[in-house]
């Protein structure tokens, strides 16, 4: 089977989530539970204040784009790290372990200095992190790269990342738009998660010992569906075939805001793909039915 990779949305982040393992129920019952279990996260509407404005251009047509970097306390501040730590993270195998929370607004048309129409986006971040990128060139370059990549992924256009200017005399272009921000805390990095993420229970609720099969390394079969099939996405549903020969203690599921990773400790190829929209990490529901050896991961979309 050929792996499929869908590249969309901002801030590739891998946050670990516990899986609920179910063995004795029929697949229909578990599937219905999966579809009906949706948690909500409280939100609030905030009006950010201006920070600075960046001018860049699209590729290959060279159209002008302005990005208003704006500030609100409603967005959490990323953990404070040194330049050396940032360089180590960027050169590591998983640089997505460092997350910069931000809110990317919808594009709109505003007149530039000459009166010509240009596309403008507002990107809101925490004020304390803004102070850091203002005075640190390394963090500023890293942050703007993340912003540009996020805009590209979310709105499917290409930005000339080598051709941008921070405006000196204007903090923003046009009127800053309000952002609807989810009220949540920072999930702990994977190194702070205690205990096994996945436990396989038998019919008596006894934890089974892991078993590593001596099978040839191959790919797990999976597919990703969206509901409804057209229009605004309500939720995504990943369906992954888990062979009966593989113990659930050998599996590690990680779901981020826009990415899913399932690792089988090297027994099978890593299942790793990006999602076509941001998902609510606090409302992920993963269930396994051993009658059909199928893992269902329901991921409510963030609108």
Kindly state the average pLDDT of the residues 200-208.
38
Determine contact, residues 37/298, Cβ cutoff 8 Å: yes
Per-residue confidence (pLDDT) for residue 217, from 0 to 100: 54
226 and 134 fall within a common domain? no
Determine contact, residues 225/239, Cβ cutoff 8 Å: yes
Q: What angle do CA 147, 150, 153 make, to 5 degrees?
A: 155
- Best-predicted range by mean pLDDT (17-31, 153-167, 244-258, 275-289): 153-167
- Domain of 252 in residue numbering reads as 20-41+187-300
Token pair belonging to 42? 């409280």
Question: Where does a domain end: 150, 182, 214?
Answer: 182
Task: State the pTM of this model.
Answer: 0.51
Choose among 289, 246, 241: nearest CA to 266. 246
168 and 53 fall within a common domain? yes
* 5 located within any domain: no
* 105 located within any domain: yes
Percent of the chain at pLDDT > 90 equals 26
160 and 289 fall within a common domain? no
200 and 223 fall within a common domain? yes
Q: What are the tens digits of pLDDT across the range 91-113?
A: 877 776 788 888 998 899 999 88
Give the number of other Cβ atoms within 10 Å of residue 113's Cβ.
Answer: 11
Question: Where does a domain end: 182, 203, 231?
Answer: 182
76 and 172 fall within a common domain? yes
192 and 88 fall within a common domain? no
Choose among 93, 146, 149, 35: nearest CA to 263. 93
CATH (domain of 275): 2.60.40.790
Q: What are the tens digits of pLDDT across the range 27-54?
A: 445 445 444 444 444 567 889 999 999 9
Determine contact, residues 145/94, Cβ cutoff 8 Å: no
Number of domains in the chain: 2
85 and 37 fall within a common domain? no
227 vs 29, residue with greater confidence? 227
- Best-predicted range by mean pLDDT (42-56, 209-223, 239-253): 42-56
* 1 located within any domain: no
200 and 134 fall within a common domain? no
Q: Are strands 64-71 and 117-125 parallel, antiparallel or unpaired?
A: parallel
Question: Where does a domain end: 132, 151, 182?
Answer: 182
* 9 located within any domain: no
Position 163 pLDDT exceeds 50: yes
Determine contact, residues 286/295, Cβ cutoff 8 Å: yes
Determine contact, residues 103/129, Cβ cutoff 8 Å: no
Kindly state the average pLDDT of the residues 6-35.
41
* 12 located within any domain: no
Instruction: Specify the range with the lowest mean pLDDT, choosing from 3-7, 158-162, 248-252.
Output: 3-7
């Amino acid at each position: 089977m050929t792996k499929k990779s869908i590249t969309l949305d901002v801030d590739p982040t891998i946050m670990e989530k516990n899986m609920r393992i179910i063995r004795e129920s029929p697949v229909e019952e578990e599937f219905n539970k999966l579809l009906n279990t949706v948690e909500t996260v409280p939100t609030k509407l905030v009006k950010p204040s201006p920070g600075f404005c960046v001018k860049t251009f699209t590729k290959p047509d060279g159209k002008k784009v302005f990005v208003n970097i704006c500030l609100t306390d409603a967005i959490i501040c990323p953990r404070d790290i040194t330049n050396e730590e940032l360089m180590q993270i960027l050169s590591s195998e998983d640089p997505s372990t460092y997350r910069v929370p931000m809110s990317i607004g919808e594009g709109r048309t505003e007149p530039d200095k000459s009166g010509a129409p240009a596309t403008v986006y507002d990107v809101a971040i925490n004020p304390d992190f803004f102070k850091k990128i203002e005075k640190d060139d390394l963090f500023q370059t890293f942050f703007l790269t993340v912003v540009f990549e996020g805009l590209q992924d979310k709105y499917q256009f290409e930005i000339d990342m080598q051709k941008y200017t921070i405006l000196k005399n204007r903090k923003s272009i046009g009127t800053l738009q309000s952002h609807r921000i989810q009220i949540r805390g920072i999930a702990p990095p994977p190194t702070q998660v205690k205990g096994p993420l996945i436990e396989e229970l038998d019919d008596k609720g006894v934890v089974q010992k892991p078993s590593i099969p001596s099978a040839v390394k191959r790919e797990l079969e999976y597919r990703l569906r969206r509901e409804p099939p057209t229009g605004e996405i309500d939720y995504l549903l990943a369906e992954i075939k888990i062979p009966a020969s593989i113990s659930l203690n050998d599996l590690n599921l990680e779901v981020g805001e826009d990415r899913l990773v399932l690792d089988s400790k090297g027994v099978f190829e890593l299942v790793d793909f990006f999602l076509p929209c941001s998902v609510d990490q606090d409302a992920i529901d993963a269930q396994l039915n051993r009658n059909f050896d199928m893992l269902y991961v329901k991921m409510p979309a963030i609108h």
